[in-house]
Structure 1
Amino acid sequence: MILALTKKCNIACYMCNVHYKKGVLEEYPTMSSTVFSKIEPFFPFLKQLTLGGNGEPFIDKDIFHRLDRIRHLNKAVFIEVFTNGLLLDSPTLVREAVHAIDMFRFSINAFSKNNYESIMVGGKYDKLLHNLAVFKQVRNDAGMKIKTSVECIIMKRNISDIDKSVEFCRELGFDSLVFKPMWIIDDRTKEEFIKPEDAEADILRELLPKVRHLGMRTGIEVEIYDEIFQLYFNRDKERRISDDISVVPVPKKHSYWGMMKNRITRNLANKSVDYEKLPCSDPWNTIQIFENGSVLLCCQGLTPIGDLKESSIEEIWNGEEAQRYRRGMISGEYYGACRNCNRIVPRNLASYEKAITRKKE
């Protein structure tokens, strides 16, 4: 489950499809207790819960109370959080966080002051470094095996920082480093997007293998989304363009807890389905819920299946709209947004750009 407790954010990232135009948003609410209570029937069955989506989870003043409730209903669930880290500014808060959460995925899109502050608008690089040092100290003092990763979206304005990324992670005690492609949301981000023929793409082709090798030498696991290989390393020609649905064209994720294995093999619905032969298993094992009660069937944000203000979560999960996505995935006649999803084998750059272009909110 991907749970967005709020749409509010304390910064306005350059490439964010929610906040990119409006600045720091205050008008969005956090999730109401009514909506949260309607999700509770699902909590006992979760294997993994991701806090994040469109906003900064630690803006929600009820976050720890809600995490306590989730743990009460499901002690075994793996909980991770997407955060920019800028609100984790006191040892007391960090201690509470590391006792409640299993993995922290820090959104850090540059590793120098100027680049960071030009991308993560409103964020202060010096404050980030201070908070991460506090986090490292608290985690070490507690002796807890909390997993941490840096998540970085590749674009023209941070390419000069990529060679600094592994050392940044090593100094601050991160376990892994994840590189992701950028979504195109307007003309501005289209200009920032690195095309295969751009000079920056040549730099990427040189840098990324070196960064991965350096990560292996220093104990930092470097993960690179497969869309990046498709775009810049011609992997589509080698093994990605195929009509054989036994190919599983999904992005690489953290191997620490086997997300990709779980996505393919978890059987939360129809046990007769051979997930390894499907392009995507999300319709059976993933659900995304926003702070306003909107329910989607995957993490891509384009598969609405219901509203908790109008229906129960059980009715939505088993409803006709959700079943259309599942039937389409099995038959190959993909339904709705699945037809253009960048996780289902883009055939060329044009289709890839169409797939990652997001509608303005």
Structure 2
Amino acid sequence: MADRPGKKIKDEYMMDSHKLLWHLDRVCQWQQGKRIAPLHLDIGITTGCNMGCVYCYGVLQGRDMANQRFNMPKDALLRLLKDAKDIGVRSIAFIGEGENTLNDALYDGLSFAKEIDLDVSIATNGIKIPRERLQDMMEALKWMRFNISAATRDSYYNIHKIKAYDRVVNNIQAAVELKRKHKMEIAIGLQMVVVRDNISDIVPLARLGKKLGVDYLVVKPCSDTYDGTMSTPHEKYLEIEDIMQEAECFSDESYTVSVKWRKMKNLGRKGFEMCYGTSFLLQISGDGTVFPCGHFFNIRRDEFTMGNIIDASLKEVVKSERYWNVHKKIQCVNVNRDCETNCRHYYISQFLWDLKNPPRHVNFI
């Protein structure tokens, strides 16, 4: 059961946790000081986006407008996928600073990933999804998540700064219908980022997700810089526990509303002092640059660039001394001053920190 204060619903996706316990072979290698391949990659294949979400951390990462974007070439993407499979990467999520459906190379990439038996997923705003390619796309994916942080046309425009609510909802419905028609295994989800202006949408969006027939809605806080560039309402999150619990009550055996409680309640602070998670999870910008963490896409970029998969293969990048030196450098970063709050590595880094810093008398289990 998920650790939540509200209704006890089994969250089979473990949204408020991590899954490193199912990869203890790689964890043990890391504990032994071996140079390991990452388990997972978050990759962008474009630098641009066709939305203007008020909470978008991609703006701080150097995200471009759609008409100014750089698209990763198809040959570089296919090589990246093949290299990832060869070196032992076990999953890839098409998640970057931009909207990956803007790059048509996505579809050939997904087909190739399916061909080589590489687990892949995508997070999308759902605006630009060609219906004629949707089925093939879904058949290649383990999960597909629509980023939608509002439940009405007006609030959607207020949060996402584009009039696309009906189009997105229709595309979600089309995906759900295809899944049911063809009995696909893919999980279809929604993701909501909570800011001050959409708190009143939390319960209505939970209701909408159930009506649409998706598998889950995940509710998460907005990430921010340590000095509050995004004005994330960390204190306000503590005041809306009853609203989030009400949203969770829409959960049943076929639909889960999953609140990231640990992140919602941590006031933007991390309980670990050093980030070890980058050894297991890398993030690649839409321009092909490899980073330990997406926070550094446009901040101290020269310090934390590991390489570029357009200029060199992922295999070459991971074997380079530059790659391993950047991992060491990350461990010198003050995670509560120099990083974003509620980062991508939050859960796994807490687990790895605990492993590195055991309690006394560990044999007394």
TM-score by length of 2: 0.70
- Contact 1:328–1:335 under 8 Å retained in 2: yes
- Could you tell me which residue of structure 1 aligns to residue 55 of structure 2? 15
Q: How far has the Cα of 1:293 moved from its partner?
A: 2.0
State the aligned residue count. 294
- Contact 2:48–2:64 under 8 Å retained in 1: no
Deviation string, structure 1 residues 59-80 (Cα, Å, up to 9, x no partner): 11122212222333x31x2211
1:335 aligns with 2:335: no
- Could you tell me which residue of structure 1 aligns to residue 99 of structure 2? 56
- Contact 2:156–2:162 under 8 Å retained in 1: no
Percentage identity across paired residues of the two chains? 17
- Contact 1:283–1:325 under 8 Å retained in 2: no
- Could you tell me which residue of structure 1 aligns to residue 12 of structure 2? none
Note the 1:1-361 alignment, pairs <5 A.
1-19=41-59, 24-36=65-77, 38-39=79-80, 40-44=82-86, 45-72=88-115, 74-75=116-117, 77-88=118-129, 90=131, 92-184=132-224, 190-191=230-231, 193-196=232-235, 198=236, 201-202=238-239, 204-216=240-252, 219-224=255-260, 226-231=262-267, 241=271, 280-301=275-296, 303-327=304-328, 334-336=331-333, 338=335, 340-341=338-339, 342=341
SS of the residue corresponding to residue 67 of structure 2 reads: coil
Q: Which sections of structure 1, spanning at least 5 residues, go unmatched? A: 244-278, 346-361
Q: Distance in 2 between matches of 1:179 and 1:282?
A: 22
Q: Distance in 2 between matches of 1:188 and 1:241?
A: 19
SS of the residue corresponding to residue 30 of structure 1 reads: coil
Q: Distance in 1 between matches of 2:171 and 2:314?
A: 37
Query: What amino acid does structure 2 have at the position aligned with 1:32?
Result: P
Q: How far has the Cα of 1:307 moved from its partner?
A: 2.4
Q: How far has the Cα of 1:177 moved from its partner?
A: 1.6
- Could you tell me which residue of structure 2 aligns to residue 355 of structure 1? none
Q: How far has the Cα of 1:134 moved from its partner?
A: 1.5
Q: Distance in 2 between matches of 1:2 and 1:211?
A: 28
Q: Distance in 1 between matches of 2:200 and 2:54?
A: 17
Distance 1:99 1:160, change over 3 A: same
Q: Distance in 2 between matches of 1:159 and 1:118?
A: 13
Q: How far has the Cα of 1:326 moved from its partner?
A: 4.3
Query: What amino acid does structure 1 have at the position aligned with 2:315?
Result: E
- Contact 1:15–1:189 under 8 Å retained in 2: no
SS of the residue corresponding to residue 2 of structure 1 reads: strand
Distance 1:309 1:80, change over 3 A: closer
Q: How far has the Cα of 1:38 moved from its partner?
A: 4.7
Query: What amino acid does structure 2 have at the position aligned with 1:335?
Result: C
- Could you tell me which residue of structure 2 aligns to residue 356 of structure 1? none
Q: Distance in 1 between matches of 2:247 and 2:136?
A: 33
Q: Distance in 2 between matches of 1:242 and 1:3?
A: 25
Distance 1:242 1:184, change over 3 A: closer
Q: Which sections of structure 2, spanning at least 5 residues, go unmatched? A: 1-40, 298-303, 347-365
Deviation string, structure 1 residues 148-200 (Cα, Å, up to 9, x no partner): 12111110110001111221111111212212221347999644x2141x5x7
Deviation string, structure 1 residues 40-71 (Cα, Å, up to 9, x no partner): 32233321110121122221112221222233
Distance 1:188 1:131, change over 3 A: farther
Query: What amino acid does structure 1 have at the position aligned with 2:124?
Result: T
Distance 1:62 1:139, change over 3 A: same
TM-score by length of 1: 0.70
Q: Distance in 1 between matches of 2:254 and 2:79?
A: 45
SS of the residue corresponding to residue 170 of structure 1 reads: helix
Query: What amino acid does structure 1 have at the position aligned with 2:183?
Result: G
More relative contact order, 1 or 2 (CA 8 Å, 6+ apart): 2
Q: Distance in 2 between matches of 1:116 and 1:327?
A: 42
Deviation string, structure 1 residues 281-313 (Cα, Å, up to 9, x no partner): 533222222232211123544543222355442
Query: What amino acid does structure 2 have at the position aligned with 1:305?
Result: M
Deviation string, structure 1 residues 193-232 (Cα, Å, up to 9, x no partner): 2141x5x752x12212232243257731414152212129
